[in-house]
Amino acid sequence: MAKPLMFLPLLVMAGFVGAGFFAMQQNDPNAMPTALAGKEAPAVQLQPLGAEVPFTDADLRDGKIKLVNFWASWCAPCRVEHPNLIGLKQDGVEIMGVNWKDTPDKAQGFLAEMGSPYTKLGADPGNRMGLDWGVAGVPETFLVDGAGRILTRIAGPLTEDVITSKIDPLLAGAGE
């Protein structure tokens, strides 16, 4: 009787691992909870990036829905999402860029190579704005309504699937 009980801890551990794996499969990996949803976007605190004029709080409250995209030149997933950002810009979506924890030369080189999807752009080299917005890493994108309230937060690259399932419905609902 003692030998079957010897395997009980192993079975319990296997049960926890299985339950954790199942739970991970149920969640959308791009959906990251944010305490900011439905609230006013935190203050915009940006430095100029080259000749670019950074966007301001007023830009987020001008009546038009916008994407606020945190990115960096050293970020491989940012390269993956960049063509999709260009496509959104071509579709008329205003995108505000926040270059996060990067150097100006590398950021400008990235945009010279890949093109700029940004309506306005600024730098957050010290992560002050990123901390206020709850940015955990790049790329991270926030959809902000015309009154400056955060509608949703997307962690990871904006793939075509993410745009179709998350961004497009919110843009359509806002009349964009």
pLDDT tens digits along 4-53? 667 667 766 666 666 555 555 444 444 556 678 889 999 999 999 988 88
Q: What percent of the chain has pLDDT over 90?
A: 73
CA distance 21 to 15: 10
pTM for the model? 0.81
Task: Give the CATH superfamily of 34-174.
Answer: Glutaredoxin (3.40.30.10)
Buried b (16+ CB within 10 A) or exposed e, 50-62: eebebbeeebbbe
Which residue is associated with the tokens 């976007």? 41
Which residue is associated with the tokens 């994407």? 67
Q: Domain coordinates of the chain in residue numbers?
A: 34-174
Strands 94-100 and 150-155, by their bridges, are: unpaired
Q: Are residues 56 and 129 in contact, defined by beta-carbon separation less than 8 angstroms?
A: no
